[in-house]
Structure 1
């Protein structure tokens, strides 16, 4: 097996993610496939590059040396590709490459941008990892990245990126089965869910650390299930789990979504971009703000929360 640039990219992804599970998600492949590929790379080099631990993967001393040489090569190739594509875009027409974590505002944002920027080639790349999107943005693979940052868990932001704050503090609500006893109240105490199994997706940057902090502050230690949020819905409806959710979620006939008392769990919504291209970035931010406001006011529970807190979103509307 000959070592190729794609293999170096795999090594960098594992080192950045800190685990095979997260790296596989960021690369869009299964964990078993990534494990097999890493084993082949290590066999080709004749050395172990990562030590597998219970908490994740850490580069060995030799792995650190390989990574120090691999990163510049990967970065230079990414720069070559992005500059070539940018040059082609200037010839072929305007282009806007959007990266985003999950949000109910996405559909409205794309609709508004297509209306505001006719003739622009607008593409969307989604990822559960805000960190992966920011690295792609820094490498020139994206033009803007809409991400959320879990309170108390700051993102690792590559140098040179500029940021605009969309929402300084968005509360995270809780989703549960429609017939859950706590669903009878308009606001739920974290302590009322001490006997429930909580679901969290550990591949979402900061999600598990943020939830662990909130549960600890409430003095409870409930069972926790690590899974992706697509799987979560069926478990929540069946009464097998509860999970944090965005306040713009819902409504659903088979699920209750309620605010948490005192809003202990929150995120910041941020739009990142590289320097330059001010008019395009201004347009992207303005239409995102309008689309988010539209999604927020469409959801009754979040609209009531905004009214109680005299949110600037209402004044903007």
Structure 2
């Protein structure tokens, strides 16, 4: 087996993420597939590159040596691709292509629809990623023009130097999703203490998410059971009453699930549009804001929250 750049990229991703699960999410592959790939690489080299521990993966001495040689090669290939894309962009007519990225959001569909209507003839490509940091790195490298990301309160994103940012919403509250039969579902606003006995489900691959939830629960003196998994799985467990989970306030409404604000809004994120230096993002931002208004209009509980907090986003709702 000959090592290729994709193998080296996988090794770097595992080292950076600290676990096979998170590295697989960043690479867009399944964890079993990445585990098999790592095993083949180690078999080809005749030794382990990572020690599998309860808390994740750590490079062995040989692994550190391989990584020290692999990173310059991976970085060089990324630079080569970025330069080629930049040159190709220069050769295209101005404004003929727009590459947008976003973390998961109910706003994406409306944003994309509005952009296609506002920018006819523009080739618009969309990339959705669980990791805001990965999207920011792609903007920095020239693989994306803009990225719509969320920054968990208390866990600031390291926005690469030189990138420009616009704040869509300085503080978006995170609501809580719970089963229709949950005792707290009958309240318009849920108290954290009413969820002390419920398992909480959190996706640890979402940048800052687990740290934010852990910080808020700890500050409230709560130590509920915590399940780690993606939010598609979370939704199915919430409906069955097996867990509660944080969710975006633009989620819902749903017939099979209750979505409620938390008293005092202890969980929150900041919404940002990040772009390459000098990029003209006026239309992109305007349509994002309009799409967000649309999404908020559909959720009466969130519309009311925006009005109570005198948010500019509530004016046209």
TM-score band, normalised by shorter chain? over 0.9
The alpha-carbon deviation at position 314 of structure 1 amounts to 2.0
The alpha-carbon deviation at position 92 of structure 1 amounts to 4.9
Q: Which residue of 2 aligns with 1:102?
A: 104
The more displaced of 76-85 and 259-268 is 76-85
CA distance 1:205–1:47, shift in 2 (3 Å): same
1:305 aligns with 2:270: no
Provide Cα deviations, 1:243-270, integer angstroms capped at 9, x if missing partner: 0000000001111100000000001111
The separation in 1 between residues aligned to 2:232 and 2:272, in whole angstroms, is: 23
Q: Which residue of 1 aligns with 2:137?
A: 135
The separation in 2 between residues aligned to 1:205 and 1:22, in whole angstroms, is: 10
Q: Which residue of 1 aligns with 2:73?
A: 73
Cα contact 1:75–1:139 (8 A) shared by 2:
no
CA distance 1:209–1:16, shift in 2 (3 Å): same
The separation in 2 between residues aligned to 1:203 and 1:31, in whole angstroms, is: 13
| Gap runs ≥5 in structure 1 | none
Provide Cα deviations, 1:203-261, integer angstroms capped at 9, x if missing partner: 11111111111111111111111111011111111111110000000001111100000
SS in 1 for 2:216: helix
Q: Which residue of 2 aligns with 1:272?
A: 274
Q: Which residue of 2 aligns with 1:283?
A: 283
Cα contact 2:202–2:230 (8 A) shared by 1:
yes
CA distance 1:72–1:275, shift in 2 (3 Å): farther
Measured on the aligned residues, the alpha-carbon RMSD in Å equals 1.8
1:295 aligns with 2:295: yes
Cα contact 2:85–2:142 (8 A) shared by 1:
no
Q: Which residue of 1 aligns with 2:253?
A: 251
1:34 aligns with 2:61: no
Provide Cα deviations, 1:148-168, integer angstroms capped at 9, x if missing partner: 111111223334433222111
| Gap runs ≥5 in structure 2 | none
Provide Cα deviations, 1:39-64, integer angstroms capped at 9, x if missing partner: 22223233433232222222334433
Provide Cα deviations, 1:260-302, integer angstroms capped at 9, x if missing partner: 000000011111222132x2x2222221122112212221010
Q: Which residue of 2 aligns with 1:51?
A: 51
The separation in 1 between residues aligned to 2:141 and 2:282, in whole angstroms, is: 21
Cα contact 2:173–2:268 (8 A) shared by 1:
yes
The alpha-carbon deviation at position 135 of structure 1 amounts to 2.2
2:240 corresponds, among 234, 238, 243, to 238
Map residues 201-212 of structure 1 onto 2, 5 A cutoff.
201-212=203-214
Cα contact 1:79–1:140 (8 A) shared by 2:
no
1:157 aligns with 2:198: no
SS in 1 for 2:101: strand
The separation in 1 between residues aligned to 2:79 and 2:271, in whole angstroms, is: 27
Q: Which residue of 1 aligns with 2:172?
A: 170
The alpha-carbon deviation at position 316 of structure 1 amounts to 6.3
The separation in 1 between residues aligned to 2:278 and 2:268, in whole angstroms, is: 31
The more displaced of 129-138 and 157-166 is 157-166
The separation in 2 between residues aligned to 1:160 and 1:55, in whole angstroms, is: 35
Aligned length: 315
The alpha-carbon deviation at position 31 of structure 1 amounts to 1.0
Cα contact 2:177–2:257 (8 A) shared by 1:
yes
**TM-score normalised to structure 1 length:** 0.93
The alpha-carbon deviation at position 90 of structure 1 amounts to 4.3
1:263 aligns with 2:252: no
1:193 corresponds, among 189, 192, 195, to 195
Provide Cα deviations, 1:114-154, integer angstroms capped at 9, x if missing partner: 12211111011111111222222222222111111111112
The more displaced of 251-260 and 86-95 is 86-95
